Structures are given as C-alpha cells and as structure tokens.
Amino acid sequence: MKLVRRTLAVFLAVLVVAPVANAQNHVISKSALDQAVQARVAQDRSDREAIAALLARPEVREIAATAGLSLENASAAVSTLQGSELRDVAAQARQVNNDLAGCAYTVVISTTTIIIVLLLVILIVALAD
C-alpha cells in the first residue's frame, strides 16, 4: 500500500510540476518583443511629427484662423491620439502635406476641407478625454 501511495504521489507531483516547467517557453523572444515595441514607438513618433508638421504650415494656420479654430489646442491634442486614430490622422496629414508641398493648387478645396476636418477631429478627441 505504501508503494502505491508513493507512486501515486510522485505521479501527481510530476503532473503538477510539468506544466509549470513548460510554461517558461515563450511564443516570442524578449528581443523580438523589444524590437516590436521600439518600432511601434518610432512609428507613433513619426505620425505625431507628420501631424505637427501639417499644423505648423502657414496655409493651415490661415485656414484655422479663418475657421476660428485654435491650433494650440489641436497641437496639444496630438499627444492624446493613439492607435488607429493616430495612424488615420497621420495618413491624412501626410497626404495634405504632400499636396501642399507639391503645389497641388487643383486640390485646394479638398485640401482645405481635409485640414478643417483634421483640426475638428483632433479637437473632438481632446475634448472627449
């Protein structure tokens, strides 16, 4: 009877310890995780810089002043954008920057509309927080 108890105890101990020992295997390595985090931080920084570059343009300042929008509030709100909101606004900001840098005067109306919409989105997000 003692032999059965000891055998059963050893068997149960192995069953309990085996999953814990196996849990140390990670799906992704620490260095790969660090690289992914650094890439995400760099992308977010780049997105914020693209939005800030758009807000610093004289054309945007003129349109914001005409529309009565505060660029200071919009600039402050850029730091609160995250995730898909940040990526979407940055993509639109890059497009507007490219259009304005390329002197695409044929798209002035749509660029003006995009600028106003971007400013409104940034302000709404700032007010929502």
Tens of pLDDT, residue by residue over 37-87, are 999 999 999 999 998 998 898 888 888 888 888 888 888 888 888 888 889
Phi, psi (deg, nearest 5) at residue 51? -70, -45
Residue with tokens 């009877």: 1
- Most confident listed range (16-25, 73-82, 101-110): 73-82
What residue segments make up the domains of the chain, in order of their start? Answer: 32-128
Residue 125 in contact with residue 81, Cβ under 8 Å? yes
In a 10 Å sphere around its CB, with 0-12 CB exposed, 13-18 middle and 19+ buried, how is residue 60 labelled? buried
Name the pTM for this structure.
0.61
